[in-house]
A and B are shown apart, each in its own frame.
Chain A
């Protein structure tokens, strides 16, 4: 029975085992070719440029990067802000995804649309909207000042707070959607069974639902973290120079300073550190689960 079911799901598979080849995999070839040509190849070229520009550079670009205290400081800051944004997204996204799962289908659909709407508007527009709200002469401060609640404008932007607010709003959908996909598949009977066995609501949640939603937490967090590492426009607009992220430096070197060797080296460093984070995360989470959480159907 299981074999038949297996055969239906994997038409290319021989019943008796041996090397499996799913002939539908051929459909992947155009996408793979595209990725190789426009993603893998440029990455490799960039790696080459980091050691050959200026000619004979070798590892001098990398040495120059680490020799500069500001670079290391900004790199550390990048990972810190990405981590804080991830936690903020998790704290806000988890209850939202939970609500989506518990809600009746129509409401769940509305909630999903609300989460997806930011994708349809420009990132810059959203960031500037935050600026209008948070700045010294912005909406919040103007209202509070006119009500006499405060005497001096609150510093809501040009600091870490502004950056986190802006980034987590932009990254929230990337946390909610994987969480929702995983939570949706958790059988509600399980939590109900726990209560039937005498568990109070919170322990039932903590010991049954929460562990089952861990793949969603892992995949959402990983996605948000990696995306946050690449941000630099939002931190530049909403933060002070102290919140500068490494991608800003990379962009400066490539676009303004025309120092493509150093810029490439910085980009390679960022990429390698990200891969290290992924490797570290893979100790606790099966990376396959991350992809499974994003797109898998029952």
Chain B
């Protein structure tokens, strides 16, 4: 009897406690950068420092900049390539967050509690729609004409390029797939297909390219993607599509053999082959070249220092440093990555078949894209 009473007490407590924590709701913990030094002073910006910023940036020693990116080996490469050398050079410290998120930027700015000074964001942010929450970049410091065309704009500058590519299992096919048309050919290339679960992640673009649309015509001169045509094409392989929500999952699917071909980010495909030693190869033909961008949240107390750092990191002599650790390319045209890394970079493998996202159109039409995507996906 006593045991049973104790059991039911225990079960009551366990039930109540676990009801809060054991449910399926997810929390996406966003850690804001932690401490900052209080006494920051605006560095003297009197000289025309554009030439000097690449070698002698005017960082205020002792200041801590909040730096937010996406963690993992990616952020480690940025840290080793940029953050640590910059600290050694200027004395500016970095408080890092590995949970970069657009929602967090918006939240910080809205609450007037900006702790992130330099944020690495995806290609869906930093556009004119986000002007209210971002500082315009200082292009008197940043060398805009050296950045790849289309990858520098008022509110953002690309820091790292990468490619959305067709990755495939080389052990499953005698002839490798030549492009996206083969991705949609289940006869010649049997097996399931991995796909990024995001309406603006490339799914419609690759379907259109598979349907014969030339890369420069994807957005029909500003009219935008022909989503209905893409959906018709996607319907031909819909039951074979396996959606992945993030990079790690995309690797897992193709490494386990759950899918024989997948749309992947080139760095992840590279890791599958070189780090996990699986027979995964990249087809660079018809890749979509895109980038991650540096932005500065509006109202940050360290604006000048943030601008100095961004200008320094995008200079030709500094921009390629992270590429020595991960196969993500520089954004400065004159940057020189190490010779043995060059072949794995997306920028190196650009040719006439390479496509580009129209980020402005994608963001401005996000609601419509989402709606059509979800409508199609959930049918």
A residues sitting closer than 8 Å to B (CB atoms) are: 68-71, 73-74, 77, 105, 108-109, 112, 116, 118-119, 123, 135-137, 158, 167, 170, 173-174, 177-178, 180-181, 184, 223, 227-228, 230-234, 236, 241-242, 244, 247, 249, 251-252, 254-259, 294-295, 297-298
Which of chain A's residues have a CB closer than 8 A to the CB of B24? 123, 167, 170, 227-228, 230-234, 247
Which of chain B's residues have a CB closer than 8 A to the CB of A227? 19, 23-24
Which of chain A's residues have a CB closer than 8 A to the CB of B192? 136
Please, could you name 23 A-B residue pairs with CB atoms under 8 Å apart, sorted by A? Answer: A70-B371, A70-B375, A74-B378, A108-B7, A123-B24, A136-B257, A136-B258, A137-B258, A173-B14, A174-B18, A177-B15, A178-B15, A181-B8, A227-B23, A227-B24, A230-B25, A233-B26, A241-B243, A242-B377, A242-B378, A252-B370, A258-B103, A297-B9
Q: Are A184 and B4 in contact (CB under 8 A)?
A: yes
Least distance between B118 CB and chain A CB atoms (Å): 20
Q: Are B26 and A297 in contact (CB under 8 A)?
A: no
Contact of A294 among B4, B16, B23, B377 (CB under 8 A): B16
Report B1-44 CB contacts with A as 1/0, cut-off 8 Å: 00111011111101111110011111010000000000000000
The answer to whether the Cβ of B273 comes within 8 Å of any Cβ in the partner chain is: no
From 100 to 116 in chain B, residues with beta carbon under 8 angstroms from any chain A beta carbon are 101-103, 106
The answer to whether the Cβ of B72 comes within 8 Å of any Cβ in the partner chain is: no
Docked CA distance A293–B225 (Å): 56
Least distance between B357 CB and chain A CB atoms (Å): 16
The answer to whether the Cβ of B148 comes within 8 Å of any Cβ in the partner chain is: no
Which of chain B's residues have a CB closer than 8 A to the CB of A73? 378-379
Contact of B245 among A118, A119, A158, A236 (CB under 8 A): A236
Q: Are B4 and A108 in contact (CB under 8 A)?
A: yes
Docked CA distance A136–B197 (Å): 20
Q: Are A241 and B11 in contact (CB under 8 A)?
A: no
Which of chain B's residues have a CB closer than 8 A to the CB of A109? 3, 7
Report B191-225 CB contacts with A as 1/0, cut-off 8 Å: 01000011000000000000000000000000000
B residues sitting closer than 8 Å to A (CB atoms) are: 3-5, 7-12, 14-19, 22-26, 28, 101-103, 106, 192, 197-198, 242-243, 245, 256-258, 366-367, 370-371, 374-375, 377-379
Least distance between B150 CB and chain A CB atoms (Å): 23
Which of chain B's residues have a CB closer than 8 A to the CB of A173? 14-15, 18, 22
Docked CA distance A73–B377 (Å): 11
Q: Are A184 and B8 in contact (CB under 8 A)?
A: yes
Docked CA distance A228–B258 (Å): 28
Q: Are B28 and A255 in contact (CB under 8 A)?
A: yes
Which of chain B's residues have a CB closer than 8 A to the CB of A228? 24
Docked CA distance A88–B198 (Å): 32
